[in-house]
Amino acid sequence: MPELPVIRALAERIEAQFSGQEVVGVVLLQFSSLKTVEPPIDALAGGTLAGVASYGKYLVLPVGDLRVVLHLSQAGRVTFEEPAKTSRGRGGVLRLNFVRDPEGTAALFVHEFGRERRVGIWVLAGDDPGPLAKLGPEALDPVVGELLMTSGDKRRLHTVLRDQRLVAGIGRGHADDILHRARLAPTRSLASLDEAERRRLHDSLVEDLTLRLDVERGREGGLPAKLSEDWRVHGHWGEPCPDCATELARVSYEEYEMTYCPRCQTEGKLLADRRRSRFLK
Ligand SMILES: [Zn+2]
């Protein structure tokens, strides 16, 4: 799933490409994606897109006095069309049409690959925060440092980092890489960390997300299907650790999988998971 750095850099590219321009047409192609009824999505037509921003994994597109909040979920993508197309496109979700001087057209096309339909669109009026109301501070907000230094949370670190109500913008990929960078076992808890470990966790979080943001800022156009994110350890189980060359291990839970280095992060211990415990029976 696109996480904070990917989404923030994408917001910057949408801003550069379309900001200050009038939305001349709104075509909703996937009705189940629209999570709001009022104001109607057609009310966006005639408004000017300006001040595109992001919050966590959400894109925020102000149009006139309304705001479109967009959650791409796992498989949502964005394409900049010039000229604008009129077809439904593959997995089409939403198309915002713009004009290009003197007589060209352009569009911001949101689409989704795969079978699941998970992209969410909210059209909000005034200061209605919509889905953003449930989110904690963004991962790169300095407030997060304070939170990580003081919280007595007892859940797994991997779970805590991905809890959007606590810290917004981190998913499985960055959770794996941040914990590896911090040399902390994903199964430990904030409550169990000493001051130096907490500091290391926050420094690693900032470093990891900032480095990725720099890479993402080199991207051009929308957001392609293949993100080809160059993860440090995420998804690289079975391959050598980038720091110590020990074979990276994985641990699977019902909903997700974590990758870690048994030498750098768990003092040589392999973490028990469902697959392993089944195997041991
Ligand atoms: Zn290692």
The CA 176 to ligand 1 mean position distance, Å, reads: 13
For ligand 1, the distance from its centroid to the CA atom of residue 208, given in whole angstroms, is 16
- 113 and 161 housed in the same domain: no
Chosen domain end from 96, 115, 134: 134
The reply to whether 169 and 188 lie within a common domain is yes
Q: Are residues 147 and 235 in the same domain?
A: yes
Q: Each residue's pLDDT tens digit in the chain (281 positions)?
A: 899 999 999 999 999 999 999 999 999 999 999 999 999 999 999 999 999 999 999 999 999 999 999 999 999 999 999 999 998 888 999 999 999 888 899 999 999 998 888 999 999 998 999 999 999 999 999 999 999 999 999 999 999 999 999 999 999 999 999 999 999 999 999 999 999 999 999 999 999 999 999 999 999 999 998 887 789 999 999 999 999 999 999 998 877 899 999 999 999 999 987 665 555 44
Select from 104, 134, 164 the last residue of a domain.
134
Same domain, 128 and 172: no
Same structural domain, 104 and 149: no
CATH number at residue 35: 3.20.190.10
Same domain? 221 vs 148? yes
Print the domain residue range for 267. 143-280
How remote is the CA of residue 256 from the centroid of ligand 1, in Å?
A: 21
CATH code where residue 226 lies: 1.10.8.50
d(CA 226, CA 75): 10
> Do residue 223 and residue 117 come from a single domain?
no
71 and 25 in one domain?
yes
The verdict on 66 and 15 lying in the same domain is yes
| 8, 130, 183, 243, 259 from 175: Cα distances, Å | 17, 26, 12, 17, 10
- Please say whether the beta carbons of 115 and 143 come within 8 A: no
Taking the centre of ligand 1 as the mean of its atom positions, its distance from the CA of residue 230, in whole angstroms, is: 17
Which of 134, 155, 181 corresponds to the end of one domain? 134
For ligand 1, an ion, list residues with CB under 5 A.
241, 243-244, 246, 261, 263-264
- 242 & 173 share domain: yes
Ramachandran region of residue 88, left (φ > 0), alpha (ψ -120 to 50) or beta?
alpha
Residue 92 alpha carbon to ligand 1 centre in Å:
42
Q: Do residue 153 and residue 261 come from a single domain?
A: yes
Statement to judge: residues 92 and 177 lie in one domain? no
| Cα Dmax for the chain | 71
Å from CA of 144 to ligand 1 middle: 26
Total domains, the chain: 2
The rounded Å distance from CA 260 to ligand 1 centre is 8
